[in-house]
Chain A
Amino acid sequence: MKLLSRPEELVLLAVWRLKDNAYCVTIRRQISEVTGKDWSFGAVYVPLDRLEKKKYISSNLGEPTAERGGRSKRFYSLTPDGVDALLKVKEIENAMWEGIEGLSLDNIA
């Protein structure tokens, strides 16, 4: 199985955190806040599409609202596969980090 990319991982985590309110705007805001960088919509759409294609998330359309100019929101939610993939990444990361101590900038010099 292919590993998740970092944006994909972030997006999946954001979807998980946002629970029932996970749609593009909120996901983007969440990630931007956490990383401290302004993520463009494109940067969120692409991993979302890719994840949906991989069946890690599923989406459904909400009711159209006036503030969105009569457009629906598309809500995303994690599938079991998605949860699985996240756990797998976490596991690998943990394994990679294990036993590494004293990793700091001082040690490099």
Chain B
Amino acid sequence: MSIPKKSMQPPRIAERILSGIFPDRGWYTSLGDFREEFAYIAADRGLFRAQLWYWGQLLRSVGPFLCNLLYWSGIMVRYAIKYAVRILRRYKGYSCVNIAGLSIGIASCLLIGMYISFETSYDDFHTHADQIYRYDTIVQDGDESRVYDSTFLSIGPALAEQFPEINAAARFYFKGGAPVIQYGDKRFYEENFTFGDKSIFDVFSLRLIKGRPETVFQMPTSIVISEKTAEKYFGSDDPVGKTLGYFYELYDMTGRIEFTVTGVFRDIPSNSTLKADFIAFFDSVHDAGVFSKIMGEYIANFFTTYVLVDNTVSIPDLEEKLVQFNKTTLEKTYGPNKTGSVKLTPLISIHLSKPERVKALYTFGGIGLMILFIACINYVNLTTARSAHRAMEIGIKKVVGAKRIQLMVQFLGESVIIAFIALCAALLLTAVMLPLFRGFLGIDIYFVQFLTPGNILFALISVCCVGVLSGSYPALFLSAFRPLLLMKKITVSGRSAQYVLRKILVVLQFAISVILVTATLFISKQVKFMRDADLDFEKDNIIILEIKEQDMIPKIEVIKRELLDHPNILGVSATLGVPPDLLFIPEKARKSSEEPSKSRRFDLINVDDDFITAYGMSLQAGRDFSPEIATDKDNAIIINEKAASLLGLTDPVGQEILLSDRKHTIIGVVRDFHFRSLKNEMTPYVLALGAEVIHYISVKIHPENSAYTLEHIKKIWDTHAPDFPLSYSFLDDDIFMEYNTEENFGKAFQYSALLALFISCLGLFGLSAFLFEQRTKEVCIRKVLGESIHGIIILFSREFIKLILTAIVIAVPPGYLIVSRWLQNYPFRIEIDLITFVFSGAVTLVIAFSAISYQAVRAARSNPVDSLRYE
């Protein structure tokens, strides 16, 4: 028989595939069979038919082949699981340490992930979330341009009318402060009260439980309320048709509107920019003439306007058109010289437009990953350390014929299984921790809302990744052993690569922990520093009473006098604003000799003549305001040192300066005071008398018997303002709360530092257990030869202590960088001192040592006979 021509051979690829899936015990006789048949068919019916036949044969075998593969790999997986479970049971201690560490790591990642997904999911519950934009106005005032997240009254309706690409526009009016809402004898201050257009139901996805969107806003005095508000005011009664009293005050107008509840909407989720429990029909106040009155006097651009844009529209083009529109509309209303621009801000981007929120997300995301990383390190370290125990197993498996890939699959399988067990434990842990976490962050997140198929899939995939990642080193490492060495029980010597790697990983773990601990210490120091700092006024024993009704203003003098009659009340001052969020009027200040262009911005605070005494501020020069001197009301001002130095005045008292071109005489200088929180730079302040608008009364009391004094204040208040419940707070509390964000940030760091340290120590605990176990014989011989217990402890701890000291040293530079970066945010900040680093290092060292010493003591105290007699 002649050798067939090359062209008479079957397709190469097909043959390759066939030989791959059908090895036929390595003889490949079947390939020969196929080839022979191919040649036969080719000779008989042509090459093409033969090739067709060959491919047909191949295709037919693919299905059964895959089934077979699945079946056998299923069996392999079953064995892998069986084996993993056996190993887990056999080495309970290791398994516990592994699973505990990993599950804590995963749980903290889950919690942080929930927080991140909560923060990034803001406003996406609206059906057309990506088509909703806020109409922001940019007002050009000279060189300064200011961005307002709101616009003018007439803009909203005109938008919907004139632009076909805008499907709907809805205006909101959020009045500052919390109005009083009354139903029968129930009366509360309500923060989430807003006025809204009819069209809010077109723009936002507010689900009405009672009432229909088309009909709820028919009368001007309609109001829709949230489910929980309905419950709060009306209990189980039907709220529809009930009336709610609303007390308003706008500048100098006060009044009461009776609103009729026409609908109830489902509570707005907490991840919403729009926060509302009451939405009153916009026309109510509009009709009462309130807005139009303001319009006459002010350029009122405080109407937050949202538009629903058609999804085919290009936003930059629309913005361009809107700028022109904005201009013409405003010119019609306010005359030609107001210029400004327009920006459409996507609703979904509003929440994260604040850089500190994004920063927080990145910070916590990073911390979560770091904790997970530390937990993974534990796994790698413990598994490689344990490898000696399993050397025999691996050796025998290899001798019997296990391929390297099979061993790798086995180890990866084990670590994935551990990761899954850890995931289950982590889920439990998360469920338990969630209420705490919720309270801590003050956000409403629930487990159920994260149980979406996407998230579950993501969790499963990431756990697989964690398993594979943490198992990959041991898998590569253990499967590479030469069987002979394994069988001869030559364990890996101290200088080997894995030993070095383990050391590096431990150092890394502890370095991260030390950084977190140090950061925590510095953050809490900074918070304490800001809270305890001398603000150059007396913040203690001052009670702040809030005035909700401007009708009271004429009575203020009487109230002040009555309050002062009480022996425990040392001072009373009525002002527009109080620290820490101060209401101020920006003023352009200059000396009369200076050009107007040289003027600088000062903040003017309206006070009364008792203010400086009540707040215990110290006058550096000049005098306080006096009721006896009539001119004080018109043009006397007191400035702080910062203002004086900015003006370049060495002896400011008696000098005249111009505030927005009006002449004022400086009658005194006070020491720089921190009315705003210490997160702000020192501001140049101007104090002036002014009593038209008053929002707060500050009452300086004697520290003793403050409860009685408060009782007295309440009595006086109730006789003068029976309609408004007394709302008061202590000034030092208010100032204390200014730093809550920082405190929470610090707490978050504290928890993560604790977790990192705990997981690292857990790993160290397991690792030391293993290493001591390996050296039991050495310990015993040393003991027999007369070494003392603490000698042994020192001997064996030394190695670990060295690692931890290295970690501490390594942690200092990045720790310093991180802390100093963070402190840059604060103009008044603490020094970064070495002591804190030393302290955090010492804390870490002590904790780590206690983790090792348990094992060391156990090893040192064991009876030599127990371990030596087996030899």
B31 touches A71 (CB 8 A): yes
A72 within 8 A of B: yes
A61, B36: Cβ atoms under 8 Å?
no
Is A23 positioned at the interface, with any CB of B under 8 Å from its CB?
yes
Asked if residues B3 and A25 are in contact (CB atoms below 8 Å), the reply is: no
Residue in B closest to A74 when the chains form the complex, CB atoms: B29
**B37 / chain A contacts, CB cutoff of 8 Å:** 25, 28, 41
A5 within 8 A of B: no
Per the bound structure, the CA–CA distance linking A70 and B28 in Å amounts to 10
Query: B16: shortest Cβ distance to chain A, in Å?
Result: 12
Q: Are B33 and A72 in contact (CB under 8 A)?
A: no
CA distance A66 to B5 in the complex (A): 11
Q: Taking the nearest CB of chain B, how far is it from the CB of A78, in angstroms?
A: 19
A94 part of interface (Cβ distance < 8 Å): no
Point out the residues of chain B lying under 8 angstroms from A36, CB to CB: none
B35 interface residue per 8 A CB criterion:
yes
Q: Which of A28, A41, A67 contacts B39 (CB 8 A)?
A: A67
CB distance from B8 to the nearest CB of A (A): 9
Interface flag for B786 (CB, 8 Å): no
Residue of B nearest to A72 (CB): B29
Bound Cα distance A69, B18 (Å): 14
Docked CA distance A45–B65 (Å):
14
* Interface range for B: 20 to 34
Which of chain B's residues 3-39 have a Cβ closer than 8 Å to chain A?
3-4, 9, 27-37, 39
In the bound assembly, the distance between CA atoms of A96 and B766 in angstroms comes to: 74
Question: Are B28 and A40 in contact, with the CB atoms below 8 A?
Answer: no
Nearest to B56 among chain A residues (CB) is: A40
| Distance of A70 Cα from B32 Cα, bound (Å) | 7
Q: Which residues of the partner chain B approach A71 to less than 8 Å between Cβ atoms?
A: 27-29, 31-32, 35
Interface flag for B57 (CB, 8 Å): yes
Shortest Cβ distance from residue A80 to the other chain B in the assembled complex, whole angstroms:
24
Residues of A within 8 A of B27 (CB): 61, 71-72, 74
| A:73-107 near B, CB below 8 Å | 73-74
The number of residues on chain A lying at the interface, defined by a beta carbon within 8 Å of a beta carbon of chain B, is 20
| B61 at the binding interface (Cβ < 8 Å) | yes
Q: Min CB distance, B51 to chain A, in Å?
A: 15
Residue of B nearest to A38 (CB): B53
Question: Given the complex, which residues of B lie within 8 Å of A45, measured CB to CB?
Answer: 30
Task: Answer yes or no: B1 CB below 8 A from chain A CBs.
Answer: yes
A67 and B29 within 8 A (CB): no
B551 vs chain A, min Cβ distance (A)? 98
**B residues within 8 A CB of A23?**
29, 33
Q: Give the contacting residue for A73; candidates B4, B9, B32, B34; CB below 8 A.
A: B32
B60 an interface residue at 8 Å Cβ cutoff? yes
Asked whether, in the complex, the Cβ of A68 is within 8 Å of the Cβ of B32, the reply is yes
Q: How many A-B residue pairs have CB under 8 A?
A: 59
Contact with B along A15-28 (1 / 0, CB 8 A): 00000000111001
Q: Say yes or no: A68 contacts B36, CB within 8 Å.
A: yes
Q: Is the CB of B60 within 8 A of A67?
A: no
Q: Which of A26-44 contact B (CB under 8 A)?
A: 28, 40-42
**How far does the Cβ of B702 sit from chain A's closest Cβ, in whole Å?**
101
Within 8 A of A (CB), among B315-339: none
Q: Report if A41-B33 is in contact (Cβ < 8 Å); known contacts: A67-B1, A69-B9, A71-B28.
A: yes
Residues of B within 8 A of A40 (CB): 57, 60
Neighbouring B residues of A67 by C-beta, 8 Å: 1, 3-4, 35-36, 39
- B27 vs chain A, min Cβ distance (A): 7
CB of A24 within 8 A of CB of B4, answer no
Cα distance, A73 to B27, chains bound together (Å):
10
A41 to B: closest C-beta gap in Å: 6
Residues of A within 8 A of B64 (CB): 42
Picked from B4, B39, B61, the residue with its CB within 8 Å of the CB of A42 is B61
- The answer to whether A41 and B32 have CB atoms under 8 Å apart is no
Given A69-B9, A71-B35: A42 and B29 interface contact (C-beta under 8 Å):
no
Give Cα A42–Cα B33 distance, bound, in whole angstroms: 11
Considering the complex, which residues of chain B in the window 32-82 have a beta carbon less than 8 Å from any beta carbon of chain A? Answer: 32-37, 39-40, 57, 60-61, 64
* Interface pair A69/B30, CB less than 8 Å apart: no
CB <8 Å contact, A24 and B9: no
**B631 CB → nearest A CB, Å:** 113
> Nearest chain-B residue to A75 (Cβ)?
B29
Q: Which of B757-776 contact A (CB under 8 A)?
A: none
Docked-complex contact B31 and A73, CB < 8 angstroms? no
Report the minimal beta-carbon distance from B2 to chain A, rounded to whole angstroms. Answer: 8
Across-interface contacts of A64 in B (CB, < 8 A): 32
A73 to B31, alpha carbons, bound, how many Å?
10
Q: Check A24 against B1 for contact (C-beta < 8 Å).
A: no
Chain A residues within 8 Å of B33, by CB: 23-25, 41, 68, 73
Quote the shortest CB–CB distance from B146 to chain A (angstroms): 81
Q: Assess the B35–A69 pair: CB atoms within 8 A.
A: yes
Contacts of B1 in A (CB 8 A): 65-67
Which of B9, B29, B35 meets A61, CB within 8 Å? B29
Set B29, B39, B57: member contacting A24, Cβ < 8 A = B29
What's the Cα separation between A74 and B33 when bound, in Å?
A: 9
Q: How far is the CA of A25 from the CA of B57 in the complex (A)?
A: 14
**12 additional A-B residue pairs with CB within 8 Å, beyond A68-B35, A69-B31:** A24-B33, A40-B57, A40-B60, A41-B33, A64-B32, A65-B1, A65-B32, A67-B36, A68-B32, A69-B9, A71-B27, A71-B29
The 6 closest A-B pairs by CB, nearest first: A71-B32, A68-B32, A74-B29, A24-B33, A69-B35, A66-B3
Sampled A-B contacts (10; CB under 8 Å): A24-B30, A25-B36, A66-B3, A67-B1, A67-B35, A69-B9, A71-B28, A71-B29, A71-B32, A73-B29
